[in-house]
Amino acid sequence: MVRVLLCCTLLGVLVSGQISDLRYTETSNDNLAEAIQFLREFDREAAEMCNRVANAEWRYSTNGTEFNKRRMREQQNLASKLECISWRRAVSFDSSRIVDTSIRRQLGRIVQQGRCGLGDGKYAELQHVLSLLKDNYNGAKVCPFRRIGTDPGTDLGTFSSAAGSYPSSNYVSSYTGYCDLKISPDLTRIMETSRSEPELRYYWIAWREKTGPPVKNTFMRYLNLANQAAEQHGFQDAGEQMRSVYEDGNFFFTVNGLQPLYKQLFTYVRRGLIRHYGEHLIRRDGPIPAHLLGNMWAQNWRHLIDLIKPGPPETPDVSGEMVRQGYTPMKIFQTAEEFFTSIGLSPMAPEFWRNSVLQKPTDGSGQQCSASAWDFCNKVDFRIKQCTQVTLDDFIGTHHEMTHIQYYMQYASQPFLYREGPNPAFHEALANAITLSVGGPAHLQKIGLLNSPVTVTNGNTMVNIEYLLNLALDKLPFMAFSLALEKWRWYVFEKGPVGMNARWWELRLRYQGIIPPTGRGFEHFDAGAKYHVISDQDYIKYFVATVLQFQIYSELCQAAQHYGPLHTCDIYRSREAGRILSDVMQQGASLSSAQLIKLLTRGKSSRLSVEPLLEFFRPLEAWLEVQNHDEPTLQTAPGQSLSAVV
């Protein structure tokens, strides 16, 4: 038997502070009328609470004062209480005996996720544990590579031993007055731009010292509590609960054919790194040390392009051309809006232009600059916050964020529980499918930002190859990293934390072909250097979204009657492509992932397919094979397990 909340206005009780006065009674309920009434109340009250939280989070993100932070936490705590009250009510209904599929689906979306089954005490403890994990990460700072103080000329790299170790954390922490480098933007920029191996190694190790070991025991408590919650929600462990949002067990299927493409890219990157760093650091037939790949987690390799591709780039400077043509942040957003109206979608509402923040304020308000799209849950207020620069990256990023806004607008008429994608991957997949169109040479040429010939029959001019190479460096390592991260997390949820650091590097080698730059032992917690791990955030969505974005893009290109190589497609001004995009977006989460893919493909398939991704990169793969013809292969092949998602 389960408990029913005898309460009619949940939000009113929350706001009045009368949480302790709520009363529950044991019953089992299959009454459709009561379920409909509950969902009607939930729809109104959850949307109102969502609006309150969004407003509080917006104020803090645009003006990061302590006062705004406290107000934000207050609203988030109220939202958590409403979530648990709603969960307790939803689990009281016997969904198996409710014949209305939409009612059953909505109840399932409330019941399935969350951690409310823990009970109030352990739920509060879990929130506290997660707060400790996130606070340690967000507060982590490391010392500069070069000593500052009595001997400013000494390079910390000279202290390394033959085994590759660096000064202990005690030595580093003796410079606390200067240890103020944070992951963003400081360490991120250094890992992207530095070409000094000792410097890269130092920061790679220093970041992991600050983020992993201090919270290792706290993370173990998180694992225990998350598993307890999952069991209360009917799952074997928290990994199974995380995967359940994808609904269909067959949604994860064998992705065949990625390994050859990844191996070619890996081999080409390794050759370029050997050319710069030498064979004393990287074997010609071996894995790549993780600190040399242009990213703190080796998840994105696009910042290596200057090292791995001999000679100057042949792609014209699009960012410079934008400046010459008088682009401003506002013009970038107007251009993005015009792209969507050209395919028949709606323009941005007046509220968007009035409330969005499109460039960094000059009033010193402490705004966070990471680009984000916001839904204020009232069906009219949608915003973007972005410190826009006149660059190609921000041009593409603006279209990405505006796709999220279009998605919010399209499914706004759905019940609150359906105002999202059917699984966590769909929002990113749709946004990235649009960027495949607007970021390609064909579109840039069409709107006058690129004058080089790009749409030749075979699509393999050097401009095209450089475009494909940049995208491959961005997307393929990220897929492998995403899979390694989640395989590791699912493993520790199922098997426990014993040997978890060794398991982390085993999976990084298996999926990415990389190794740590120095010895790592059981005392380390290197997965904890990634925010999504310690903050309890799903990551397999990025793998799924990468596969799905090419599938969406391919279908839109077919609707636009594109002929030629897939990567030269541009859906700009195609009303038929826009119609399909709108049809998919309007459904929100009212359909399952499989049903939505069937709608997207016009009945041809209901499953993910990697074939469009392989077709997109086929010219690059052929080019890489020529470049790598005399290169040895890695003995432990990177990407060898990309053929098995689960």
Enzyme catalytic residues: 401, 532
Q: Which residues make beta-bridge pairs with 374?
A: 383
Closest CA to 511 of 287, 303, 248: 287
Consult the annotation and say whether 246 binds a ligand. Answer: yes
Select from 279, 134, 142 the least CA-distant residue to 219.
134
> 3-state DSSP call for residue 26?
strand
Q: Is 303 annotated as a binding residue?
A: no
**Residue 27 in tokens:** 């019953």
Question: Rounded to the nearest 10 degrees, how much is the dihedral formed by the CA atoms of 133, 75, 429, 465?
Answer: -60
Residue 2 has phi, psi (to 5 degrees) of -125, 175
Contact 437, 408 (CB under 8 A): no
400 a known binding residue?
yes
Distance CA 213, CA 140 (A): 12
Structure tokens at 310: 């001999």
Which tokens is 305 given?
Answer: 């392009």
Residues 6+ apart with CB under 8 A from 35: 29, 93, 98, 103, 107
Distance of CA 305 to the CA centre of its chain: 22
Residues present in the chain in total:
646
Contact (Cβ atoms closer than 8 angstroms) between residue 539 and residue 299: no
Strands (E), 350-439: 372-375, 382-385
Q: Is 428 annotated as a binding residue?
A: yes
Give phi and psi for 289, each to the nearest 5.
-60, 135
Q: Are 523 and 569 in contact (CB under 8 A)?
A: no
Query: Which tokens hold the place of 261?
Result: 């493409």
Estimate the crossing angle of helix 392-410 against helix 575-586, to 10 degrees.
Answer: 60
Q: Are 248 and 562 in contact (CB under 8 A)?
A: no
Treating both helix axes as pointing N-terminal to C-terminal, what angle do 426-438 and 329-342 enclose, rounded to 10 degrees? 100
3-class SS of residue 204: helix
Task: Let me know: does 541 contact 428? Beta carbons within 8 Å.
Answer: yes
SS (H, E, C) 305-324: HHHHCCCCCCCCCHHHHHHH
Binding residues for chloride: 246
Binding residues: 246, 400, 404, 428
Binding residues for Zn(2+): 400, 404, 428
